[in-house]
Amino acid sequence: MLSLSDLPDLPAVPDTVKTTLSFAWTAYIAVLAVWIVLQKRSPLSTLGWILSMAWLPVLGFGVYYFFGPQRLRRQRVKRIRSHANLYAKSDFANLRALSDHAPQHLQQMGLLGRATCDIPVSTASDVRLLVGGAQTYKALFDAIRAARHHVHLEYYIFEPDKIGTALRDLLVEKARQGVKVRLLVDALGSKRLGRRFFAPLEAAGAGVGRFHDSRIGRRLRPVINFRTHRKIVVCDGEVGFTGGLNITDEEDERTRPDAYHDVHLRLEGNAVRWLQMVFLEDWVYATGERKRRTAEDFDRLLRPTVVGEHAVQIVASGPDSAYEAIHRMVLAAIHGAVRRVWITTPYFVPGSPALMALTSAALRGVDVRVMVPMRSDSRIVSAAARSYFDELIEAGAKVWEYEARMLHSKTMVFDDNCGVVGTANFDNRSFRLNYEICAFVYGPTLTVPLGAQFERDLRKSMRVEADRRLPAWQKLFDATARLFSPLL
């Protein structure tokens, strides 16, 4: 039987090789450390990434390359911005009368939005809250059928199911009528879509683009973590939509009784121009159409339409900006609230600034309410959310879990003078990593229907009590999930 002593001795590693390997390892760690430090993360996060790559060099580097960077260099299309800002003066002129009686902190929020995402407060002639897929899809299809010049759409999820096929067929019909159709979908969120599904649309002359297509054989770059979570539809520059609903049967109660509970927003008037601007920037960035010279003039696409009486500010944010516009606007609204802060979100994973803002508001007597789904489609996100409940409740906030269906609404109500509907969840991914868009509607226009909807949803929810008892394994799982909050 062969023993270890019978094995031949391995040749000794020369000292020069040891020295070279040691130097290479030190240089590797030093270069990676500099790279990570320059990302300007929190000290704890920076140290964590450096240690992970030191202990697991190959795996750590791969994970960081795709998921570590929090910022993305993206050249803004100055031509689009210049045409949009050309008409911004008209927005300010139309809002002088409104600003005279608006609370001071709302005027400051308007300035903050302009400074962080270069979009001023505008006006809308009509603001309509749409609840559920039946209302939303009917209004959406009606607006597309009425379009005469162009239809622009941007979605995170576009499924090749019943509602998705119906929308595609309608877009094919409009394209054949001579209406310019542009459809932009996120390559990851809409990964089930193949070329065959969109072939009739492209054959009809419509444009189809994929945002950050990182499939093997295409552009394998560290953009997989940066998705467009936006839902934007613009018809003729006059009617616009944004909100929580994607294009999927999962959101249509006409097809599925257990469809997600969600809301959307329909706008008319000048505010639609800013939805248009955000879409055009995303379209040009994703497809490069600017290089081929667009067939239409940006001036026509971004010209003001109907002046309205409702003050609306479109706020867009993404990893290409260091200002985190939506995050800052939400924090400003929470700090300025004196009566209520009502939040509905499917994913609640607040960072330290947002958690402190909410608990501070509750401690000073503001009615802080947070509604999340009881049964989420993401177990780890739901667990992370539960880990924050005790801190909120101890500060005086109230937390509800919606029982009826999967809650997918993303809404906020601040006092009686600011209502928000958009695509952003109340989590780090929406505030920092995804491309998101929200409509901040100042005044009672949106707070009244949003507040009423929140109270209706309360009847189908269970309040989370401070003295609830969770098993030890559940507490451990929730606390562990919280460690991944920066990526959720």
- Other CB atoms within a 10 A radius of the CB of residue 249 amount to 17
Specify whether the CB–CB gap between 325 and 317 falls below 8 A. yes
Marked catalytic residue, from 150, 174, 231, 310: 231
Could you give the angle at the alpha carbon of 385 between the alpha carbons of 384 and 389, nearest 5°? Answer: 120
Per annotation, catalytic residue among 118, 410, 427, 478: 410
Adjacent-strand bridge partners of 222: none
Catalytic residue among 105, 152, 174, 229: 229
Tokens 């516009």 belong to residue? 325
Smallest CA-to-CA distance from 399 within 488, 461, 480, 333 is with: 461
Q: In the sheet that 418-422 helps form, which strands lie side by side, from edge to edge?
A: 122-124, 310-317, 436-442, 418-422, 411-414, 340-344, 367-373, 398-402, 461-463
State the distance between the two ends of the chain, measured CA to CA, in whole angstroms: 55
Find residue 317's DSSP bridge partners: 436
Catalytic residue among 262, 310, 408, 478: 408
What are the two backbone dihedrals, phi and then psi, of residue 245, each rounded to the nearest 5 degrees?
-80, 130
Distance, in Å, from the CA atom of 392 to the CA atom of 414, rounded to the nearest integer, reads 17
Catalytic residue among 415, 427, 457, 478: 415
Specify whether the CB–CB gap between 313 and 121 falls below 8 A.
yes
User: Which uninterrupted H or E stretch holds 184?
Assistant: strand 180-186
Question: In the annotation, is 229 catalytic?
Answer: yes
Task: Quickly count: other Cβ atoms within 10 Å of residue 351's Cβ.
Answer: 18
* SS3 assignment for 112-143: HHHHHHCCCCEEECEEEEEEHHHHHHHHHHHH
CA distance readout (Å), 98 to 86, 104, 178, 215? 22, 12, 40, 49
Q: Is the Cβ–Cβ distance between 230 and 242 less than 8 Å?
A: yes
Active site residue 101: no
Counting Cα atoms < 13 Å in the Cβ hemisphere of 94 gives 23
Alpha helices in 212-351 (DSSP H): 272-287, 298-301, 325-336
Residue 327 annotated as catalytic: no
Concerning whether 174 is annotated as a catalytic residue, the answer is no
For this structure, is 161 an active site residue? no
Q: Is 415 a catalytic residue?
A: yes
The continuous run of DSSP H or E covering 234 comes out as: strand 232-235
- Helix intervals (H) in 156-248: 162-176, 195-203
Are 432 and 319 in contact by the 8 Å Cβ rule? The answer is yes
Cβ–Cβ under 8 Å, residues 97 and 414: no
Catalytic residues: 229, 231, 236, 408, 410, 415
